[in-house]
A and B are shown apart, each in its own frame.
Chain A
Amino acid sequence: MRIDQEKCSGCGICIPYCPANAITIVNKKAQIDEDACFECGNCSRIRVVRCPKKAFFEQPGLYEGTRAARKFFSDPMTTHSVTKIPGRGTEEVKTNDVTGRVVRGQIGIAIEMGRPCLGTSMEQVEKMTSALGTLGIEFEEMNPLTHLMDDREKGTIKPEYMNEKMVSAIIEFGIPVSQMVPVINVIKDVANKLDTVFSLDMIYRFEEDGSLPIVPVLEDMGIRVRKNSKVNLGLGRPVVTR
């Protein structure tokens, strides 16, 4: 984002609205640190941020370069023009009753890099994807991040995107239950090497008797399953019964 220096009165009302802490007052005018800015667009939401001078604007050509990735991975109102895929991830469990993306015997994993609050760079994302690449992970085709990889087998990101920063980028893939332990171990190992955070998700299909036998396995690995979860009620049609 940019600030029209002619219009800016230096009132500073915009400062707390920036999730990247990229706005400061310099010489009585608000300035944006372009390297820190996620291009989320919060500062220009006129019904949320009431900049009295309407001084914020999107920089020309934003959607033409690699910086567009910041926008697409940070502003929920955008559709990814580089990858042609909307949103930061797939419909995951939300439509699993219809898509059967994760069936019995499998699990779906999502690693939400940068969430909560801190954001991420593509360099941090690649630390995780390249480590997972060593396990032969097949990254989710319908996730925009997968389309920014230059080698999907190795999990490496195109070099020109490495310095881009965003609110979050979601690494998604499915694996057989039998592969869960080595994959989780790799994720735990990379977690210790990151300069940011991630939220970890696991999708599982209820067993026929309604049980969830994966929970004790996770607990044996020292993973605490949080008490809140997202549950698909199986009311979509046609429903996948596997």
Chain B
Amino acid sequence: MTHSLHRSGPIESQKKDFNWFMYQTKGVNDVNIKPKALEFIAAAEAVGSENWGDVKSGPRTQYKTEEIIDRITDKSRIRGVFTKREQVVEFLKIMKEKDTGLSVVITGVLSEVLPACEEAEVTPHSINYSLGVWGKKDNLPDDTTLSITTMCGHHMIPPKYVEHMMDQVKKGRLTADEAAIKLANFCYCGIYNQVRCSDIISKTVNEAAEKEVASTKE
């Protein structure tokens, strides 16, 4: 549950990070969902969803659309990523019109999501708030690493792997986009925002390089 809720990082970066979800309710509307799932996928693709997937198959960054669609069952969980508020608005307009009867959920920065709902003339029903991280936080990785790992809510991305990818990009063995795809592939669900991840990696690597140059000059 709540696996898209605790994404972290600077707010401007998070404003480019939305998740969309299709959800069937056990015992109510969870039979023969494939035609409805296809409506969700068509709407998401029409507005350019950057990544999407089915936890039972895997993400679009790793599997072809046809492979995921072929494997849709009533147990599937279809969800994905948008990077712009305008996509959310258009997606919601389509899903409201299609009226599939399945639950629709959007995760994102609330000051972006609520105006998008208003523009799409959709009335929010309920909300799940993140009240932050508690406990022994001393053992957590740094904020930049967390902003990358928390985009996989099942926490399948090890901080050590983020470090490894950063190192590969620094050494020129991978581009930031390639590293971001490798990280996205850890996330079964397709909610990993590889576009935002690539931006974070580029920014971090560039800043480290600039620091190195500055210290050399000193």
Q: List the interface of chain A (C-beta within 8 A of B).
A: 15-19, 21, 40, 42, 47-48, 76-77, 86-99, 102, 108, 110, 112, 114-118, 167-168, 170, 172, 187-188, 191, 194-206, 210, 212, 215, 218, 223-239
Contact = CB atoms under 8 A, between A and B. Distances in A.
Contact of B126 (A102, A116, A172): A102
Contact of A205 (B103, B104, B125, B185): B125
A95 B2 CA distance: 12
A194 B7 contact: no
Contact of B158 (A19, A194, A204, A205): A19
Nearest to A199: B6
A76 B154 contact: yes
A201 B134 contact: no
B154 A91 contact: no
A228 to B, nearest CB: 5
A16 B26 contact: no
B172 interface: no
Contacts of A47: 58, 62, 185
Interface of B: 1-2, 4-8, 11, 14, 21, 23-26, 28-29, 55-56, 58, 62, 75, 92, 95-96, 99-111, 113-114, 117, 122-137, 139-141, 146, 149-150, 154-161, 163-164, 185-186, 188-189
Max chain B C-beta neighbours (<10 A), residue from A99, A112, A202: A112
A117 B124 contact: no
A233 B125 contact: yes
24 contacts: A18-B158, A76-B55, A77-B188, A90-B1, A92-B1, A115-B133, A116-B8, A118-B139, A170-B2, A188-B134, A194-B136, A197-B134, A203-B129, A228-B108, A230-B127, A231-B106, A231-B110, A231-B126, A233-B103, A234-B124, A236-B25, A236-B101, A237-B29, A237-B101
B129 A229 contact: yes
Given A17-B158, A42-B156, A231 B117 contact: yes
Nearest to B98: A235
A188 B6 CA distance: 18
Contact of B103 (A102, A197, A206, A232): A232
A229 B107 contact: yes
Given A198-B135, A233-B124, 7 more contacts: A18-B158, A76-B189, A188-B134, A197-B139, A205-B125, A206-B127, A231-B117
A236 B140 CA distance: 38
Given A188-B134, A228-B14, A236-B29, A110 B2 contact: yes
B28 A206 contact: no
Residue among A89, A197, A215 having the largest count of chain B Cβ atoms under 10 Å:
A197
